[in-house]
Amino acid sequence: MLNEKKVLFLGAGSMAESLIGGFIREELLTSEQITVTNKSDESRLTELENIYGVNTTDQVVEAVAAADIIVLAMKPKHLQDALPHLTNQIDNSKLVISVLAGVATSTIEADLKDHVAVVRAMPNTSAKVAASATALCQGTAAAKKDVDTARLLFSAIGTVTCTTEDKMNAVTGVSGSGPAYFYAACEAMEEAATEAGLSKEEARELIIQTMYGAAIRLEQSDKTAGELYKEVMSPGGTTEAAFEVLKSKAFQQTLREAVLQAKQKADELGRPAPEPKL
């Protein structure tokens, strides 16, 4: 289905690289099928070309005209600088996939011709190792075949959940930003481990397997996360002692607030910039 498709990435940041690396690693696309461009960073394009063998270009208009699937992966604030200039090259033969945090399909559709299919996706950087949690929603002109194409792409690099537009910013706070929360927790655990006498190598191996095992246990269990962590605790034990510190520092409340703050930021990114005052 995707053998002959040409895929263009508008944007070359970490999310674009994660998707490119995942698509090539899983052999869903070849490097020859992928072209990447960005606003001005030629060294970044050269880096991606050297690592993945993809095509890169600064001829954006021509690249858009030649593409079958256009992935919007620039910073959300750059969307309005780029899209209006490309409207004439994007017709209803193309599929536009947006991975822009906070940007609604209607915002993108407003700058495109009528009946151009837009699918919004929120993957995460675990796409690079085919372990992303991706949510999809469709724009008004997107048909089942367009959603199926997006699902095919993103299911090659992890799980896919189809949802509605009104939930996508919540997805951003939970799974879009989610890997960073885990990495921060791992960093803190590694610092504590080395302070307690373990080598960095020992700490890393133990922490990774602990996180991995806990994720599998949660996936395979009918119990809630709360029930599972309480199983680990015994009265007067080490885990209970650890949780006394977590509670005193409002760990769970802080994490809840962090997720909701990320969601709120996604809401803000999706709002149009205020008109400059004259």
The binding site consists of 10-15, 73-76
Residues of the binding site for NADP(+): 10-15, 73-76
Under a CB-based contact definition with an 8 Å cutoff, are residues 184 and 190 in contact? no
Q: How far is it, in rounded angstroms, from Cα 115 to Cα 96?
A: 11
Q: How far is CA 209 from CA 178, 203, 229, 230, in A?
A: 18, 10, 16, 20
In total, the chain counts a number of residues equal to: 278
CB 123 within 8 A of CB 154: yes
CB 147 within 8 A of CB 125: no
Tell me the residue type at 276: P
Joined together, the tokens standing for residue 164 give 């509605």
Comparing CA positions, the residue from 67, 64, 76, 65 lying closest to residue 104 is 76
Q: Are 169 and 200 in contact (CB under 8 A)?
A: no
